[in-house]
Each structure stands twice: as C-alpha cells, then as structure tokens.
Amino acid sequence: MFSRACTSSPFVFRSVMNVAAVALLSVVAYSASSVSPVVTFAPPNFPESIRIDKQGNTYVSMLTTGEVRKIAPDGTQSTLAVLGSGPTAFPGRRLVGLALDAPGNVYVALNDVPATRGVWRISRDGTTALIAALPFAGMVNALAFDARGNLFVSDSLGGRIYKVDRDGLVTAWSVDPFLAGATPTKCGRFPAGPGGTTCTSR
C-alpha cells in the first residue's frame, strides 16, 4: 500500500509495508510501469517526508529514528543529521515534515520529548539548531515557506498553524477547532474526516 506526498518535483510514493520504498512517478501516467524505484529502506527506517533541492539531492525524514537521510543524484546515501533523544520504537521520535529554504538549509518538524519538540534547521554541513521551540504543541507536522521567508507550521493535534518569521518569532497564525478534528483516535484527534482514523504499526 502506498501513500502519496506532494513535492515541488514529481510525485513521490512511499510504502508502509514491511520494507519502505521511495519512488518517482511520472506525471504523464499513473500506470504501474511509470513507477521507478529510487531507494528502499528496511525497518526500523520509516520514510515520512521528502524534498528535493536545486542540485537534485533528495532529503528524506525517518519518522521513528529522527534521521534525515540525504540521497545524492548518483544514489549515494548519507546521514545529514539525527535529531531527538527519545526511543526509536514506533512511533519513535516522530520526525515528520521537511522544507528547504533558498540557500538549501533543511527544516524539519520534530515531535520528540518536549525539550526538543519544534522546528529544527539543518545547515548544509549538518549543523543543527532548534529555531522554534514548541514544547506544548500536539504534533508539529507540515512545513511551508511563503515568498517573504516566513515559515508556517501545522499542529495536527492542536488545531493550530504557527508562523515563524525570519527573526524566529513564533505566533499562532491560525487557530480553529476544525484543524484539530472531531473524532478521538488511538493517535489523538486528527482532521481525517468522518470517523477519524486509526494508528497502526504496519
């Protein structure tokens, strides 16, 4: 079973079965023959989000281990950074959303222990910094920059979207109960539509 994630490049699919895989899908056709595997990951790796920079490097966040994996255009893999200090058993450190700024720095949403929860910046040399601490957030998730360089961060369980400006000031940009969902699940409250959703370790 595959789930689709949207990037600025071709669509990216990931497997949530025993072996996780990242593949590129042609935007021309959705036939099985148009899927081309890029890389596969064995457990406990669980690829969550993906971004591709201007040089063609691919960055993948690993949900449970807190690792950001870098894949060069020639397929060479390396670890850009490992974040968090909590356990790595599912759901682990919950490293989720990724974003890239113009110079090529990587931004990630980490949901580890409260002391490290928030948005981290990873420089191209692997240096890490917590730029927006969000210890009370339910689950920081997706990240997106606007044209002015402000970073917007969704809180999937808290019903909020935070704005992090270029000086690092964090404000609640939008607060709405609809963003928090209405149906409790084993993972919390997700905006997943009627009936909510369930959390599994598949």
How does pLDDT run across 12-42, given as a tens digit for each residue? 433 333 445 554 443 444 455 566 677 788 7
Q: Domains in the chain and their CATH numbers?
A: 46-189 (2.120.10.30)
Residue scoring higher pLDDT (153 or 3): 153
pLDDT tens per residue across span 74-124:
989 999 999 998 888 888 899 999 999 999 999 999 998 888 999 999 999
The model's pTM is: 0.75
Question: At a CB cut-off of 8 Å and minimum separation 6, what does 164 contact?
Answer: 119, 131, 132, 150, 151, 152, 153, 170
**Other C-beta atoms within 10 Å of 143: how many?**
22
Mean pLDDT computed over every residue of the chain: 78
- pLDDT of 128 reads 97
